[in-house]
Amino acid sequence: MSLRLGDKAPNFKAQTSIGDIDFYEFLGDSWGVLFSHPADYTPVCTTELGRTAALKDEFEKRNVKVAALSVDSVESHHGWISDINETQNVEVNFPIIADENREISEAYDMIHPNASLTATVRSLFIIAPDKSIKLIITYPASTGRNFVEILRVIDSLQLTANYSVATPADWKEGEDVVITPAVKDEEIEARFPKGYTRVKPYLRLTPQPNK
């Protein structure tokens, strides 16, 4: 059965490029990003892992731990990491999980038979500190991920987890947000002291409350 938003992310123990991990212990109280790759030594994935390493500070300031996965071995991962570091001018500083028996890939529904019987699709999961799945994105093998979008979604998820707001289309950190319908007009002044704009009864905008 496929995982859906709100489901608990399956825990697992695995060998990785940084040693053996228990996934839940690795995440601890942090947010998590788990993303899969069709195989080691593939060109698009090389750029993606390089980009992830380059964004280390951005993930850390959001309290996010990152882990990648492919169905190749730890030995293969180490060789590939050397190539990534060389070609992308980075230092890969997060675990790449070895899933040779495909147990983790199956648990996370990363094997799509119509795309490939053996390789994982390019799936990405954002996982909250309570281990619930907050976002699932699956890209085709030919299309690299947009990491600006991934960071944007993390910002939105962390904001909306703590305030009764939602983020509108193309929202970016620091822009106005939408007050959720569950908040009554008479409650807004106390809950959102920065004020608000009433565009329609159901569309009420307020400055980002944690800024």
Query: Any idea which residues carry the catalytic annotation?
Result: 45
User: Which amino acid is residue 7, in one-letter code?
Assistant: D
Give first-to-last CA distance, the chain, whole Å.
40
Q: Say how many C-beta atoms besides its own lie within 10 A of residue 77's C-beta.
A: 25
Beta strands (DSSP E) in the chain are 13-16, 19-22, 31-36, 64-70, 96-98, 122-127, 133-139, 165-166, 177-179, 197-200, 203-206
What is residue 76's three-state secondary structure? helix
Residue 16 · residue 97 · CB < 8 Å? yes
Residue 96 · residue 66 · CB < 8 Å? no
What is residue 134's three-state secondary structure? strand
